[in-house]
Amino acid sequence: MNRIFSPGKLMLTSEYVAVDGALVLAVPTKLGQEFFFDESDDERSLIYWNAYHQDQLWLETIIDYKTWTIIKTNDQKASEFILNVLKNVQELSEIKFKTNNSYHLKTNLQFPSDFGLGSSSTLMSNLGEWAEIDPFVLNEISLGGSGYDVAVAKEKSAVLYSRFPERVYEKVNFDPSFKDDLIFIHLNQKQDTREGISHYKSKATSTELINEYSELTKLVLNSQNLEEFSQLMTIHEQKLAIFLGTPAVKEKYFQNYPGFVKSLGAWGGDFVLASKFGDYKAYFKTHGFGKIFSWDDLIN
């Protein structure tokens, strides 16, 4: 079978403010999602979809794409989601699901599902490349969201991204000289991004806030040393905590940690970024967070 791969992502700056067009810095992860495909001349016109999670089969479905009905499945709800996405693919594509072919499609998500690295965005990117369609449009009509994660998956690179007044993004090289002093800690839970965005949208966002985060992003991208980067991360976290009326993750879990600790993406779950200090592994493990990764463990 042929193979396409899209990397996952971690959002370093702008979190919720990205929805309103603030400039985002996001980086690709080593792990992502594979997409394997093959097709054959077959007038039954079926889609055989097998989804794997870390090489373990979890979803198996057969779809008739002439009538868009599920013939067989082991998970009705997940299959209905896949059917709707593939139906959108058919509407957007000039080459897929148009003739009497059957399709054998397989996905493999390489990272744990609670890591929040982009199971949906990597799927949108893979399907976009396979069907020769715009993955941003596919993502918008299938899921919604700012689209920064699709940009990372599509470009397989760190990106600067903004969605308003129009989508603009560029590939950037973000490989800080102080990366060996940075660590990622998983908070042992998957945060509901939609819920977080809903809370953010209940607040009155200002153009000033959007511009402040765009400027912070530029400063982060160009930061020259750990001290400067740490200060920017702390400012970033404090500003957003005040705006959201929500305690920052350091205040909530790690008040006495001497280094900075910053949420990545939706607050309260997934990963945080921190600077190393002393016996940091013992510190975080003592607080119940044992999944600790170096920069090179996670980032491509």
CATH number at residue 83: 3.30.230.10
Q: pLDDT by residue (tens digit) across 266-290? A: 776 689 999 999 999 999 999 999 9
User: pTM here?
Assistant: 0.93
pLDDT of 262 reads 96
Predicted confidence at residue 192, as pLDDT, reads: 57
Alpha-carbon distances of 175 from 103, 157, 225, 300, rounded to whole Å: 40, 11, 12, 10
Question: Would you say residue 99 has pLDDT above 70?
Answer: yes
Q: Tell me: do 184 and 131 sit in the same domain.
A: no
Q: Which of 105, 137, 172 is the last residue of a domain?
A: 172
The domain of 89 spans: 2-172
Look at residue 82 and tell me whether its pLDDT is greater than 80.
Answer: yes
Bigger pLDDT: 102 or 202?
Answer: 102
Judged against a pLDDT cut of 60, whether residue 50 lies above it is answered with: yes
Q: Which CATH number is 294's domain given?
A: 3.30.70.890
Report the amino acid identity of residue 144.
G
Is residue 129 located within the same domain as residue 31?
yes
Band the pLDDT of 206: cuts 50, 70, 90: confident
Query: What is the number of structural domains in the chain?
Result: 2
Let me know whether 231 and 293 are in one domain. yes
Boundary (domain end) residue, out of 144, 172, 200: 172
The answer to whether the CB of 53 falls within 8 A of the CB of 109 is yes
Together in a domain, 109 and 57? yes
- 172, 202, 220 — which closes off a domain? 172
- Is there a single domain that holds both residue 123 and residue 233? no
